[in-house]
Chains A and B, each alone.
Chain A
């Protein structure tokens, strides 16, 4: 009875996930597509938790559904004219339509080939007989890893290299975002109700991030989930029209973004100097070192994600500030540089000037 119910639930979950994915792709309205994508992400998180992978489920819900959704929505907002789809507009140019059809079919065929490859890989992995070698090896060495959550043990100890490189990928992405120029225009200031919400929501998100980071040592959680939760605080602040969204200015922002890779490398190098292998933690110190690395990684991940949501260099940045100063001094002269009622982006930073 119980297993039948679960099977029915899984079937329902599978059907809803695939239908939502299809609906999201087929939607002619970008905003609707993004919202369906977020719902798809939440169902996918549920699927991961049904597969008994709560760490992945948390990451999928926080990053896949939450932050990616916010990023996509802000991209839709930035794009003034909708990217119209083939079916939505009258056919004007036969060559263009042909090109689009070819593109569409090429993408479809490539996706089908990819799915077939994945299916083949899965089936051939199944035919290799018992595949519990890796879980057993992890369980046998868990004691020495410094943490009791096997996922954190793999990410931060056994395969710490991979996580280091992942953080390096994130750092590269952050550099790319900085190269995009100024951030997108700020949102309008929040009204009373939203302001009241963020007053306690932001501290709660920060607290939750700290909790997820700490609990990652022995239960689902860790730097990525905590970083995404911390970034959500920045996203909420930005949505409420705040000038400061938790990102420091200038050189401190760069230091923060590089903190994940930097601390990771530093720990590795110090261990090498002490005569151990790169990132080969001594078991007595492992749990402390993992916590230090994860804290730095969480801050770097959160900074990168918030930066991605801002879509460029924050206006509180030193470089942006000098540009704003120049703009303000040429535009309004020596008078009080705060014309009432104007919500332009150049004025948004003037309170920050005093701080700098």
Chain B
């Protein structure tokens, strides 16, 4: 049961990673690529983490995995913001 739940979470996480990667490759400009990448990858990572946490069955490991997700969430949100701001400044010539 736990294995099934873990597999479902992992596979759906991979689906979001795939969607994010396709977005990165196919979307026309930097802003929409960032949009695809940060949203899809963060959700994908969350699902992967949830899948791994379910299969680990150890509270301490679950806590560590949760910390990894939170750290990546904050870092990717901030870096996406920095990249987008830099790009917009270059576009507006400021």
Contacts and interface: CB of A to CB of B under 8 A. Distances in A.
Interface string B53-94: 000000000000000000100110110011001000000000
Contacts of A204: 71
Nearest to A192: B81
User: Contact residue range for chain A?
Assistant: under 10
A200 B75 CA distance: 11
A20 to B, nearest CB: 15
- Give the contact-size bracket for chain B: under 10
Interface in B2-17: none
B38 to A, nearest CB: 13
Contact of A201 (B74, B81, B82): B74
A196 B77 CA distance: 11
Contacts of B85: 191
B25 to A, nearest CB: 15
A194 interface: yes
A194 B82 CA distance: 8
Contacts of A194: 78, 81-82
Considering the complex of A and B, which 10 residue pairs feature the smallest CB-CB distances, nearest first?
A197-B78, A193-B81, A193-B78, A194-B78, A197-B74, A194-B82, A197-B75, A204-B71, A191-B85, A193-B82
Interface of A: 191, 193-194, 196-197, 200-201, 204
18 contacts: A191-B82, A191-B85, A193-B77, A193-B78, A193-B81, A193-B82, A194-B78, A194-B81, A194-B82, A196-B78, A197-B74, A197-B75, A197-B78, A200-B74, A201-B71, A201-B74, A201-B75, A204-B71
Given A191-B82, A196-B78, A204-B71, 9 more contacts: A193-B78, A193-B81, A194-B78, A194-B82, A197-B75, A200-B74, A201-B71, A201-B74, A201-B75
